């Protein structure tokens, strides 16, 4: 299947002094319009986006729109699509100064996290955005999110991009992609980054938070990690969780790693059946990665007795990582490394996803 490509401001493409942005459209609420006959929201013909957003023509940089062969609701996102996105960025890396990915909000933080681990040595902006209200509705947030994401993607100083990393822009805030979480399905403020400051705030002008943005590395070259190991899962604790539930999850054939969603600062029950079950899994070589159910704060194994035991049996602390970053980091690292190497890399930040 082929990609549909449309150029906006084509005369600027050949001007080397003007930034050029490649927009990759994957689907989501963003591109929906109301079909009166069918009385439902349907995907619109994205090649005609300029009719909906004539403002695009007023931006003084070149924009190329590429539509994925299959437009999806992001609930259908898969690692295979992440690989396709990373490869598209690699294929067009020299041709464009930056990339904007239009994506459904539901799994946008997972995609941003996955790409941050896949695009090693990235030195150009990759900004994900979308909308809570379809572009076809009068009060849509698609317009502001898209136009500002484009401006941020194109922003340069002395020929260097201002934000050379994978980010998520939404509702006036630019977040580090692998620090973001979808927190809201109704209001416009869909995303938060509880454990890392915003990289920029868009008001009358766009204020960049330079000390927190990954610095441009002149000698970096893009390399991709594209192998995923899907043999991972998330186990969220709750008072009353039973032994058969924990045992059946940890005995899934082929399972290699579990994000253990614990309470507060990384705490879990101290019942012997629970700790013994975890211990047996670790002895079999299964990685247990401790991530808090709290959005803000961090796992500090050993602070309470209820987390010291986890530390003692070999559970790895996820510090202040999000669940989205934890599960994608596991899939990417397990895809290319042996379990011991993965254990070491998990405990360290590899793409700004955690502070230890
Ligand atoms: N279900 C939609 C999606 O994630 C929601 C959205 O785009 O806001 O694709």
Residues 205-238: pLDDT tens digits? Answer: 999 999 999 999 989 999 999 999 999 999 999 9
Using CA atoms, how far apart are residues 68 and 72, in angstroms rounded to an integer?
9
Cα torsion for 175, 197, 59, 45, to the nearest 10°?
Answer: 20
Residue partners of 152: CB distance under 8 A and separation at least 6: 125, 127, 162, 163, 167, 169, 174, 200, 202, 206
How many other C-beta atoms lie within 10 A of the C-beta of residue 303? Answer: 15
Please work out whether the CB of residue 104 comes within 6 Å of at least one atom of ligand 1.
Answer: yes
pLDDT at residue 10 is higher than 70? no
**Is the confidence at residue 329, as pLDDT, over 60?**
yes
* Ligand 1 site, residue 130, Cβ cutoff 6 A: yes
CA of 331 to the centre of ligand 1 (A): 23
Q: Is the pLDDT of residue 305 over 70?
A: yes
Distances (CA, A) of 220 to 114, 121, 246, 273: 19, 5, 43, 49
Residue of 26, 29, 67, 300 with catalytic role: 29
- Say what percent of the chain tops pLDDT 70: 97
Ligand 1 centre distance from Cα of residue 29 (Å):
5
| Cβ(148)–Cβ(170) below 8 Å | no
Query: What's the gap between Cα 246 and its chain centre?
Result: 28
Q: Is the CB of 134 under 6 A from ligand 1?
A: no
Reference 169, options 100, 255, 265, 107; nearest CA is: 100
Predicted pLDDT at 13 = 57
Q: What is the mean pLDDT of residues 160-172?
A: 97
Contacts of 64 (CB under 8 A, 6+ apart): 5, 6, 7, 8, 13, 20, 21, 22, 23, 96
What is the mean pLDDT of the segment spanning 111-138?
96
C-beta separation of 119 from 126 below 8 A: yes
Domains and CATH numbers, the chain: 4-224 (3.40.50.1170), 232-346 (3.40.50.40)
Q: State the chain's mean pLDDT as an integer.
A: 93
Instruction: Indicate which residue's Cα is closest to atom 8 of ligand 1.
Output: 105
Tell me if 184 CB under 6 Å of ligand 1: no
**What sign results for the dihedral spanned by CA atoms 40, 46, 48, 52?**
positive
Question: Phi-psi category of 322—alpha, beta or left, where left has phi over 0 and alpha has psi -120 to 50?
Answer: beta
pLDDT at position 43: 77
* pTM reported for the whole predicted model: 0.95
Tokens matching residue 280 = 């047996």
Token pair for 69: 């062969």
For residue 206, what is the enclosing H or E element? strand 206-208
* Ligand 1 neighbour 161 (Cβ under 6 A): no
Q: What is the largest CA-CA distance in the chain?
A: 69
State the average pLDDT over residues 157-181: 97
CB 335 within 8 A of CB 229: yes
Query: What average pLDDT score do residues 22-26 get?
Result: 96
> How many residues are recorded in the chain?
356
Q: What are the pLDDT digits (tens) for 30-61?
A: 988 777 888 877 778 888 888 889 999 889 89
DSSP state of 199: S
């Amino acid at each position: 299947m082929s990609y549909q490509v449309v150029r906006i401001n084509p005369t600027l493409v050949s001007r080397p002094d003007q930034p050029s942005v490649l927009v990759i459209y994957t689907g989501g609420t963003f591109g929906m319009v109301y079909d009166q006959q069918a009385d439902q929201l349907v995907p619109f013909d994205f090649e005609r986006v300029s009719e909906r957003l004539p403002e695009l023509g007023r931006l003084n940089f070149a924009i190329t729109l590429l539509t994925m062969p299959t437009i999806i609701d992001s609930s259908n996102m898969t690692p295979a699509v992440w690989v396709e996105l990373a490869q598209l960025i690699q294929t067009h890396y020299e041709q464009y100064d930056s990339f904007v990915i239009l994506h459904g909000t539901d799994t946008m933080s997972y995609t941003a996290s996955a790409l941050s681990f896949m695009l090693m040595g990235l030195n150009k902006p990759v900004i994900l955005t979308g909308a809570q209200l379809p572009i076809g509705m009068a009060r849509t947030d698609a317009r502001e999110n898209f136009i500002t994401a484009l401006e941020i993607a194109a922003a340069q100083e002395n020929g260097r991009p201002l934000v050379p990393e994978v980010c998520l822009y939404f509702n006036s805030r630019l977040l580090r992609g692998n620090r973001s979480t979808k927190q809201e399905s109704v209001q416009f403020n869909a995303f938060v980054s509880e454990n890392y400051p915003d990289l920029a705030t868009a008001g009358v002008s766009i204020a960049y938070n330079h000390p927190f943005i990954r610095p441009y590395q002149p000698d970096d070259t893009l390399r991709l990690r594209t192998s995923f190991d899907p043999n991972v899962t998330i186990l969220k604790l709750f008072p009353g969780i039973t032994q058969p539930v924990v045992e059946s999850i940890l005995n899934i054939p082929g399972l290699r790693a579990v994000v253990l969603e614990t309470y507060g600062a990384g705490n879990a029950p101290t019942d012997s059946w629970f700790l013994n079950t975890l211990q047996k899994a670790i002895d079999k070589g299964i990685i247990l990665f401790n991530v808090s159910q709290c959005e803000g704060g961090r796992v500090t194994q050993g602070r309470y007795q209820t987390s010291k035991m986890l530390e003692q049996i070999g559970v790895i602390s996820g510090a202040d990582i999000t669940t989205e970053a934890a599960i994608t980091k596991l899939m990417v690292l397990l895809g290319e490394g042996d379990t011991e190497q993965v254990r070491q890399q998990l405990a360290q930040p590899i793409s700004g996803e955690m502070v230890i």
